Structure 1
């Protein structure tokens, strides 16, 4: 009997994973305009929640899934890089850091002429740095940003963050040093 339960569970798990994400599957055949409208509506819903201390995680996840699907189905559409960029920010906001990085990386690699490519590259470094604490990857992304966009308005920030990452010190240590240096000069 125990073996039967294990086999039943294993079969159910196999069927579920083989079928994919049910919410994504429901959108697979939707027309482009309908899917875009739903994404924009979800963006609006989440924007209204910006002042709330909690966010509707279900709407956030739905936005990420729909944006990802839109990008898969309509790669050449002009809305695609916008959806990917915004869903990257949403993914980071709900703690899906790896997904955020993947979405922004897709913007950088597939849409190199998109206006938000610099920010997409910077946010990858920032997420590796602050959220995942993966300093080698953060350094790689900050350096790539500075090499490609040295005159961008956030280049100074990237340079400062790169210096912090390369110092091997935590952000708190750097802030304390800065405060001590300021007090010493006063």
Structure 2
């Protein structure tokens, strides 16, 4: 009889912890959802830096508490995007790296590698790093929808908008000449 009571108590305690943990997880998800709705200014549509930082903080809390949960991969990606939006580029790269190392099998891992290269190219102007990661993306994901974008990005690395326009016009003119000669 004593053994049966002990088993029931153990079962009750285990259930309490499971319910308590999932309840904490749900509360955190709800908190994140609420704060996410406040990231953008209602009038201008611009990112509100304080709200973005709070959201990133909550994403981090979720990721630390539930590192193997599939939602952590999504929150890592969102944290990287928000970090980029508020000018914290190195932090964004850190989130992309963590996503790729912790969740290499999810589709966002490919996008994370592309975006890492994009941040190096467009925001940090580290063209050597951008080339390295765009090339890595092309090799690792040869059939991905962003492959051509990665190839074009390599072609345009370090060029001004005027140089890119000139290059595109030159390519267009060469294509037109090729058609008229055939």
- State TM-score, norm by structure 2: 0.75
Kindly provide the CA deviation profile for residues 130-151 of structure 1, in whole angstroms up to 9, marking residues without a partner as x: 0000011111110111111111
On the 8 A contact 1:64/1:90 being kept in 2, the answer is: yes
Match of 1:101 among 51, 69, 93: 93
Give the aligned CA root-mean-square deviation in angstroms. 2.3
Following superposition of structure 1 onto structure 2, how do residues 3-152 of structure 1 map, counting pairs within 5 Å? 31-46=24-39, 49=41, 52-152=44-144
On the 8 A contact 2:47/2:85 being kept in 1, the answer is: no
Distance of aligned partners of 1:51 and 1:141 in 2 relative to their CA distance in 1, 3 Å threshold: farther
Kindly provide the CA deviation profile for residues 41-65 of structure 1, in whole angstroms up to 9, marking residues without a partner as x: 222333x648724322111001111
In the alignment, structure 2 segments of 5+ residues that lack a partner are: 1-22, 178-182
Distance 2:57 2:112 in 1: 19
Structure 1 runs of 4+ aligned residues shifted over 3 Å read 48-51, 168-172, 180-186
On the 8 A contact 1:164/1:171 being kept in 2, the answer is: no
On the 8 A contact 2:156/2:164 being kept in 1, the answer is: yes
Q: Which has the larger radius of gyration?
A: 2
Is the partner of 2:78 in helix, strand or coil? helix
